[in-house]
A and B are shown apart, each in its own frame.
Chain A
Amino acid sequence: MQQIYYLDNSSTTKPCEEAVNAVVDAMTERFGNPSSLHALGFEAERALTNAREQIAAELSAKPEEITFTSGGTESNNLAVFGAAHARHKRGHRIVTTAIEHPSVLLPMRQLENEGFEVIYLQPDKTGHITPEQLFEAVNSDTILVSLMAVNNEVGSILPIDDARAAIDSAKAPALLHVDAVQAFGKLNLRPGRRGIDLMTVSSHKIHGPKGVGALFMRKGVHILPRTFGGGQEKDIRPGTEGMPAICGFGAACAALPDADKERKKIAELNTYLRTELAKMPEVAINSAEDALPYVLNISAGQVKAQTMLNFLSEHHVYVSSGSACAKGAKSYVLTSLGLSPMRINSALRISFSRYNTKEDCDAFLSVLKEGLATLQKA
């Protein structure tokens, strides 16, 4: 089989063997409905409990604080609408950032139509939001603060602790929601102890199957459901549990290496790539020095990202332009960082996983050089 160099792990990751086995097991052996009262149902319920515990353990949370959903998008929608609608009598301001994922931003637009006042904090050139911005925006009328732990396009780390401090300081009746899709498994997230009320995580970014995610809801936090049905997931997200994907998600969590140690390894790859790229005058780096090392956003010369992406792809090197969801549309994240149009149009995102090696970096570097040499002539 052709060797591929997969450096697009912020879009999705290759499922790990443990996850694949768990999916197969749930589809062939333990296929019962967890709500059935017979032994097969009980076995499925145990598998469900087990998966819930595996995810809880990764978050240092209690199993009952984990609600399964169909993925990051649904978790974000549930958190944002669920929190806003549960608290609409206590205030009407919502604070978020301009660089959130569309599954937060579009619900926010919807909430604006419903009459909520939404403040979109603007990042600086490297994708950072400052504590001062949060303290200024959060007032006693604020009912929800939603920000991502790590930006998906440039990897900047957002100040969650300061968001909590801002809420406490304003004595705001606000819930704190964190979209941690890009940070899960990569930073040690302990939402319960950092004062996070709601947190979104997704399976397919950590080598689990697609179609499943979870919403962490701190014990005692109440939000309104978006779906109504047969009582599963404590009525917050009813529907017969998607067992194969859930079991795969649990197994992928259990297979995660220690986040801090792994991040150091990835940081070495990142540093290597940065050092080599620094030698190429036509390449500019868009990710901040202190960004999560798993993501590296660069602008490469005068070549449109799509063209470079196709060139890299022909040589079996896979990266993305902006986020995968955007499908090549001009990045609103990079736009809000205030980068020049050329830099935005030529932006590539390299994103790592634990399966990457220096070899992948070298393949990328050599094809990129070749690409710059041939494509810029045209």
Chain B
Amino acid sequence: MKEIILIKLGELVLKGLNRRVFEDTLIKNISRRLKPLGKFDIRSRQSAVTVTPLEDDVDFDEAVERVSHIFGIATYTRAGVTEKDMEQMKAVTAEYLRRKLLAAKTFKVEAKRSDKKFPLNSPAICAEMGGYLLKRFPNLTVDVHHPDVTVYVEVRDFGVYIHSSPERGAGGIPVGTGGKAAVLISGGIDSPVAAWQIARRGLELTAVHFASPPYTSDRAEQKVVDLLSQVSSYAGRMKMFTVQFAHVQEEIRDKCPEELFTLLMRRFMMRVAQRIAVQEDCLALITGESLGQVASQTLQAICCTDACVSMPVFRPLIGSDKVDIIDTARKIDTFDISIEPYEDCCTVFTPKHPCTRPHVDTLENAEKLLDVESLVDECVRTVSVRTIYPR
């Protein structure tokens, strides 16, 4: 029996004249993610997208798993395909949903008939199918209000789809419909979540990571690669820039007041990231900051870090509690990677008593002790780049 993935679009249906662009991008994103698994026919028809495998030996489960990560999808479900013939529809339903129907005690049938040429109308399909399933599965009774299983029968122009309980998709808007932004990624819990949230709003990502060997190890960098590759299973492939940052940190440590260390470092990060972002046609920076979480994330500190860049800085987690961020990190499978115990560039040289209410003037005065421009230049010159592919 043939099986397809039936996808219902999210907010996309609200987008008046742009809808075509959004749909095309979504279909492109789906085909890119499924291509390594084999040949699929992916098309939009009658307000849904159908994904039909064209080869027998494709890993369909993996295809479904991948679809569940693609933004722009409200719900998706695997569906059995059958001819427009009531007897066949019954047989396919009993076989296709066997396990679910065996495990259930109550069920109902919902029919949708968009092909009005089909001889039975929706209530008649429900009655036929319901009666058959009741006989076939003695464990079942009908409950139209709170059934354990709902059997959907969709009679469309080009075939009949049988399925039960659509799953919630990843939501949001297709990646690539909204331009590009650069995310500052450390290896902690927050920045991958921030990246995921922004990608969900349709932006393509470029990642900027700051490495400080020998203070940080290859493992710390590998951890970031792993994190990004998990994020990229949602956000699509992306470039990752690794900035050699130890020299900047040593300069700050040697020449500036200790309590300003983290803030001065953050300002350098923003400057370097902005330079890379401009080169890569990104229009915004993304950070994982959350108000008040640490000394460099107080309102005053954020004002100071923003003051040194001209691009908009998106902080999608700014109002989120840590537990909420952790929940999302678990949901998108970045949490377990984030908690691997390797030093990252933000945890080396941290001051004992960091300044929590800095003023821009103080920081600018401290920066006079450094050659800011040439340090930033050096960072941009020595940056290395690689491409991150979905896990």
- List residues of chain A with CB under 8 Å of any chain B CB: 37, 39, 42, 45-46, 60, 62, 64, 131, 135, 161-162, 164-169, 190, 193, 258, 260-261
Cβ-defined partner of A42 (8 Å) among B57, B98, B100, B218: B218
The A-contacting residues of B in range 27-75, CB under 8 angstroms, are 57, 59, 61-62
A14 to B100, CA, bound (A): 41
Question: Which residues of chain A come closer than 8 Å to B139, judged between CB atoms?
Answer: 169
Q: How far is the CB of B232 from chain A (nearest CB, A)?
A: 15
Q: Which residue on A lies nearest to B100, using beta carbons?
A: A165
Is chain A's binding surface mostly helix, strand, loop or mixed?
Answer: helix
Please tell me if the beta carbons of A169 and B219 are within 8 angstroms of each other in the complex: no
Beyond contacts A45-B219, A165-B102: 17 other A-B pairs, Cβ-Cβ < 8 A, are: A37-B217, A37-B219, A42-B217, A42-B219, A46-B222, A60-B59, A131-B102, A161-B98, A162-B99, A164-B103, A165-B99, A165-B103, A166-B103, A167-B103, A169-B139, A190-B61, A193-B61
A187 to B181, CA, bound (A): 44
Q: How far is the CB of B296 from chain A (nearest CB, A)?
A: 28
Please tell me if the beta carbons of B336 and A169 are within 8 angstroms of each other in the complex: no
Q: How far is the CB of A253 from chain B (nearest CB, A)?
A: 15
Please tell me if the beta carbons of A260 and B57 are within 8 angstroms of each other in the complex: yes
Cβ-defined partner of B336 (8 Å) among A39, A64, A166, A260: A64
Cβ-defined partner of A261 (8 Å) among B57, B59, B217: B57
Please tell me if the beta carbons of A169 and B61 are within 8 angstroms of each other in the complex: no
Please tell me if the beta carbons of A164 and B99 are within 8 angstroms of each other in the complex: yes
Residue B104 lies at the interface, judged by CB distance under 8 Å to chain A: yes
Given known A-B contacts A37-B217, A42-B219, A169-B139, A60 and B102 have beta carbons under 8 A apart: no
Q: How many residues of B contact A (CB 8 A)?
A: 18
Question: Which residues of chain B come closer than 8 Å to A193, judged between CB atoms?
Answer: 61
A60 to B66, CA, bound (A): 12
Please tell me if the beta carbons of A168 and B103 are within 8 angstroms of each other in the complex: yes
Question: Which residues of chain B come closer than 8 Å to A260, judged between CB atoms?
Answer: 57
Q: How far is the CB of B36 from chain A (nearest CB, A)?
A: 12
A260 to B218, CA, bound (A): 40
Residue B105 lies at the interface, judged by CB distance under 8 Å to chain A: yes
Question: Which residues of chain B come closer than 8 Å to A258, judged between CB atoms?
Answer: 57
A169 to B336, CA, bound (A): 33
Q: List 29 A-B contacts (CB under 8 A).
A: A37-B217, A37-B219, A39-B218, A42-B217, A42-B219, A42-B222, A46-B222, A60-B59, A60-B62, A64-B336, A131-B102, A161-B98, A161-B99, A162-B99, A162-B102, A165-B99, A165-B100, A165-B102, A165-B103, A166-B103, A167-B103, A168-B103, A169-B102, A169-B103, A169-B104, A169-B139, A193-B61, A260-B57, A261-B57
Question: Which residues of chain A come closer than 8 Å to B59, judged between CB atoms?
Answer: 60
B318-351, CB under 8 A of A: which get 1 and which 0? Answer: 0000000000000001001000000000000000
- List residues of chain B with CB under 8 Å of any chain A CB: 57, 59, 61-62, 98-100, 102-105, 139, 217-219, 222, 333, 336
Question: Which residues of chain A come closer than 8 Å to B99, judged between CB atoms?
Answer: 161-162, 164-165
Q: How far is the CB of B303 from chain A (nearest CB, A)?
A: 39
A258 to B56, CA, bound (A): 12
A69 to B63, CA, bound (A): 30
Question: Which residues of chain B come closer than 8 Å to A190, judged between CB atoms?
Answer: 61
Question: Which residues of chain A come closer than 8 Å to B105, judged between CB atoms?
Answer: 169
A258 to B104, CA, bound (A): 34
Q: Which residue on A lies nearest to B102, using beta carbons?
A: A165
Q: How far is the CB of A173 from chain B (nearest CB, A)?
A: 15
Q: How far is the CB of A28 from chain B (nearest CB, A)?
A: 22
A162 to B62, CA, bound (A): 22
A64 to B218, CA, bound (A): 21
Question: Which residues of chain B come closer than 8 Å to A64, judged between CB atoms?
Answer: 336
Please tell me if the beta carbons of A60 and B103 are within 8 angstroms of each other in the complex: no
Question: Which residues of chain A come closer than 8 Å to B98, judged between CB atoms?
Answer: 161
Question: Which residues of chain A come closer than 8 Å to B104, judged between CB atoms?
Answer: 169
Question: Which residues of chain B come closer than 8 Å to A37, judged between CB atoms?
Answer: 217, 219
Question: Which residues of chain A come closer than 8 Å to B61, judged between CB atoms?
Answer: 60, 190, 193
Q: Which residue on A lies nearest to B219, using beta carbons?
A: A42
Question: Which residues of chain B come closer than 8 Å to A166, judged between CB atoms?
Answer: 103
Q: How far is the CB of B217 from chain A (nearest CB, A)?
A: 7
A169 to B102, CA, bound (A): 7
Question: Which residues of chain A come closer than 8 Å to B103, judged between CB atoms?
Answer: 164-169
Q: How far is the CB of A206 from chain B (nearest CB, A)?
A: 19
A166 to B62, CA, bound (A): 26
A167 to B100, CA, bound (A): 12
Question: Which residues of chain B come closer than 8 Å to A169, judged between CB atoms?
Answer: 102-105, 139
Question: Which residues of chain A come closer than 8 Å to B222, judged between CB atoms?
Answer: 42, 46
Q: Which residue on A lies nearest to B226, using beta carbons?
A: A49
Question: Which residues of chain A come closer than 8 Å to B336, judged between CB atoms?
Answer: 64
A92 to B247, CA, bound (A): 62
Q: Which residue on B lies nearest to A258, using beta carbons?
A: B57
Q: Which residue on A lies nearest to B56, using beta carbons?
A: A260
Q: How far is the CB of B59 from chain A (nearest CB, A)?
A: 6
